[in-house]
Amino acid sequence: MSYQYVGGELELFAAATNWKRYFARVLAPFIGGKVLEVGAGMGSNTPFLRTERVREWTCLEPDPNLAERISRRVEGGELPSCCRVVAGTIDDLRPGTGYDTILYIDVLEHIEADRAELAKAAQRLGPEGKLVVLAPAHQSLFSPFDAAVGHHRRYDGASLAALEPPGCRLLASLMLDCAGLLASLANRVVLSASQPTTRQIAFWDRVLVPISRVLDRPMGHSLGKTVVAVWSRNP
């Protein structure tokens, strides 16, 4: 199955390298072995998320144009040579294909049947494999921007944890980017913008993300504009 991605934020957020380095560092302990990145987009997150423990990386992308773009980046050496690209959804993977890590990075909110999606993903995990989800937080912050890029919802720790797939157990649930939450509040309450500007993204990435990197841990990862959940497949 394929479709054309309706969002316009991929290019906009591609330059948010401080943010990508930050969440990649947080997720790194859970990433290794044979990895499936669902909804890989342009492959912008892939080089940040790849760790030394990765043997193989599959970029799964339902938009054929974006999938082709990832392929060109692999061929051009912009992405690791261990990457392979599959154009489609999790239903299009070969039967019996299993993974040690499955990633949904800013993807699950685009999928209407989120619970069913995670159940399918869990079936693709090997014993003690890790299912990692990073998504926008707080439904109260749902804005015209969310609607414009095809989001169905935002999550909090409880609503995301409630999607626990059969045969899995929750390993981690945390919030990231407490300083960025202030920017999201401003957009929701004051600006109501359908899309942030390049300058706003640059300010968030260069100023607010470094603040969050300092404050998130002392605050117990209890506050932020992004929520993370990690499940492990029971052996």
Q: For 135-144, write each residue's pLDDT tens digit.
A: 999 998 888 7
Please list the alpha-helical segments (H only) found in 2-52: 9-13, 17-27, 46-49
In words, the CATH class of domain 9-233 is: alpha beta
pLDDT at residue 192, rounded to an integer: 52
pLDDT at residue 194, rounded to an integer: 58
What is the pLDDT of the chain when averaged over all its residues? Answer: 91
Give per-residue pLDDT as tens, 149-172: 889 999 999 999 999 999 999 999
Cα dihedral 176, 182, 183, 189 sign? positive
pLDDT (mean) for 77-85: 92
Q: Report the chain's terminal Cα–Cα distance, integer Å.
A: 31
Q: Measured at the alpha carbon of residue 148, what is the angle toward residues 207 and 17, in degrees to the nearest 5?
A: 30
Whole-angstrom distance, CA of residue 141 vs CA of residue 119: 27
**E-assigned strands of the chain?**
33-38, 54-61, 83-87, 99-105, 125-136, 168-176, 226-233
Domain range summary for the chain, segments of one domain joined by +: 9-233
Note the pTM of the prediction, 2 decimals: 0.93
Tell me phi and psi for residue 186, to 5 degrees: -65, -40
